[in-house]
């Protein structure tokens, strides 16, 4: 099993507690220097922000963008050309293809798995495609990482994976289970963990650019599914920083959940377009009124830190209690649940606009 520097982790957690920010970058850039890093789905919103963050803070040996769309790779390469960033590599491939993943992961140290089919209605209409990418793709990433000797794999999840009511959420729940159980197959290396957070402000396909586009088109109103609807919100940059800090802290099998604010969707719409009319159009099939990041059933395995929760694996013993004691993590109350409508931290308009400006 890969060892964890508990003294260093303890210092990081103390720094978190002293920080005024909700999520403080907790990774040491030197840890990624001269490492080979691969990000699946690397041409998406997260991939762009992740690559930019890595290039701004450290110089890895290789930074590999793995995705299946050559046009998106072409556009991304213009932003991050190999002529300027010698570490950059652009690798066309699909997570459905395990042999291609194995080729891409040769001599790779760290894998960040961000590839997924994420559009809820599209997943409902194309269930086989959703399963092939989100579930079989997760299996392929695990298999390829084990066979090629990757050191760490961290997978991005979603609040929709918790008590799912749509296929996208169910497929991501299955994906989470695959990555957690993968620690039993790898016998120490790689170690696998999961990061789970809510809606990303301003990411491609999110409600913020959708509302902005409607206003630019001169729409008479903004559609709001239900005036009571709440969601967790996180900025793209904070999401990237949280993934990087979780890479530092992971032992294997944890689900890392950031402490993030909630906001009503109707209040979000009013903040973006204060003078626009709003129209309640009803909840779409497969859509929840509120989202959950941690259920009460998971509380018995959930530990709290100043900036995050960690859901420890219910099976396996890849983690140790000493680790959680050292970093000051405490078990949450037995009746604890982390839901967007009962969250203690709520976004106001000022904070929302500040996050959108980042």
* Residue 65 and residue 285 in contact, taking contact as beta carbons nearer than 8 Å: no
Please give the pLDDT value at position 21: 37
Collapsed DSSP state (helix, strand, coil) of residue 94: coil
Two structure tokens written together for 52: 């930019």
How distant is the alpha carbon of residue 177 from its chain centre? 15
Please give the pLDDT value at position 319: 66
3-state helix, strand, coil in the chain (%, to 5): 40, 20, 40
Alpha helices by DSSP H, the chain: 6-18, 45-57, 70-79, 98-104, 120-125, 127-131, 137-148, 167-186, 207-216, 236-249, 265-272, 321-326, 349-357
Start-to-end CA distance of the chain, whole Å, equals: 38
Beta strands across the sheet bearing 199-201: 199-201, 230-235, 262-264
Please give the pLDDT value at position 318: 64
Q: Say how many CA atoms lie within 13 Å of 276 toward its Cβ.
A: 24
Strand partners, 40: 66, 113
Please give the pLDDT value at position 96: 98
In sequence order, which residues have a C-beta less than 8 Å from that of residue 196 and are 6 or more positions away?
157, 158, 159, 161, 162, 176, 255, 256, 257, 293
* Residue 114 and residue 41 in contact, taking contact as beta carbons nearer than 8 Å: yes
Asked if the peptide bond before residue 204 counts as cis, ω within 30 degrees of 0, the response is no
Two structure tokens written together for 320: 């140790």
Collapsed DSSP state (helix, strand, coil) of residue 105: coil
* Residue 320 and residue 262 in contact, taking contact as beta carbons nearer than 8 Å: no
Two structure tokens written together for 272: 């973006």
Which of the residues are catalytic? 160
What does pTM read for this prediction? 0.89
Please give the pLDDT value at position 26: 60
List per-residue pLDDT tens for the chain, 358 residues long. Answer: 344 443 443 443 444 333 333 344 466 788 899 999 999 999 999 999 999 999 999 999 999 999 999 999 999 999 999 999 999 999 999 999 999 999 999 999 999 999 999 999 999 999 999 999 999 999 999 999 999 999 999 999 999 999 999 999 999 999 999 999 999 998 888 999 999 998 998 777 678 888 888 888 888 889 998 999 999 999 999 999 999 999 999 989 999 999 999 999 999 988 888 888 999 999 888 889 999 999 999 999 999 999 999 999 887 666 677 888 888 899 999 999 999 999 999 998 888 888 777 6
* Residue 114 and residue 42 in contact, taking contact as beta carbons nearer than 8 Å: yes
Collapsed DSSP state (helix, strand, coil) of residue 144: helix
The alpha carbon torsion through 306, 26, 55, 355 (nearest 10 deg) reads 20
CA distance 308 to 229: 24
Please give the pLDDT value at position 323: 81
**What CATH number is given for 6-197+235-259+295-332 in this structure?**
3.40.50.720
Q: Say how many CA atoms lie within 13 Å of 247 toward its Cβ.
A: 25
Collapsed DSSP state (helix, strand, coil) of residue 270: helix
């Amino acid at each position: 099993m890969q060892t964890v520097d508990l003294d260093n982790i303890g210092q990081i957690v103390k720094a978190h507690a002293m920080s005024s920010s909700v999520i403080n970058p907790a990774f040491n850039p030197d840890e990624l220097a001269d490492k080979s890093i691969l990000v699946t789905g690397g041409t998406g919103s997260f991939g762009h922000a992740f690559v930019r963050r890595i290039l701004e803070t450290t110089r890895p040996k290789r930074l590999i963008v793995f995705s299946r769309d050559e046009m998106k790779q072409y556009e991304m390469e213009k932003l991050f050309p190999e002529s300027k960033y010698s570490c950059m590599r652009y690798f066309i491939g699909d997570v459905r293809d395990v042999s291609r993943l194995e080729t891409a992961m040769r001599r790779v140290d760290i894998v960040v798995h961000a590839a997924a089919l994420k559009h809820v209605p599209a997943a409902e209409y194309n269930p086989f495609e959703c399963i092939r990418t989100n579930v079989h793709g997760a299996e392929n990433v695990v298999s390829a990482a084990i066979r090629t000797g990757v050191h760490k794999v961290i997978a991005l999840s979603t609040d929709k994976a918790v008590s799912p009511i749509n296929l996208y959420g169910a497929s991501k729940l299955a994906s989470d289970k695959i990555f957690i159980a993968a620690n039993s197959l790898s016998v120490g290396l790689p170690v696998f963990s999961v990061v789970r957070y809510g809606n990303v402000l301003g990411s491609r396909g999110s409600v913020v650019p959708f509302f902005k586009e409607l206003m630019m088109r001169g729409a008479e109103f903004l559609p709001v599914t239900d005036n009571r609807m709440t969601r967790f919100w996180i900025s793209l940059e904070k999401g990237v920083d949280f993934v990087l800090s979780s890479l530092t802290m992971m032992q294997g099998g944890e689900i890392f959940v950031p402490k993030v604010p909630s906001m009503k969707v109707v209040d979000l719409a009013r903040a973006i377009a204060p003078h626009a009319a709003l129209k309640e159009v009803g909840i779409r099939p497969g859509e929840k009124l509120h989202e959950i990041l941690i259920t009460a059933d998971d509380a018995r395995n959930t530990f709290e830190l100043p900036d995050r929760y960690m859901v420890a694996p219910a099976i396996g013993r890849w983690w140790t209690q000493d680790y959680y004691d050292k970093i000051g993590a405490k078990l949450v109350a037995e009746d604890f649940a982390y839901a967007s409508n009962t969250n203690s931290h709520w976004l106001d308009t000022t904070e929302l606009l500040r996050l959108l400006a980042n």
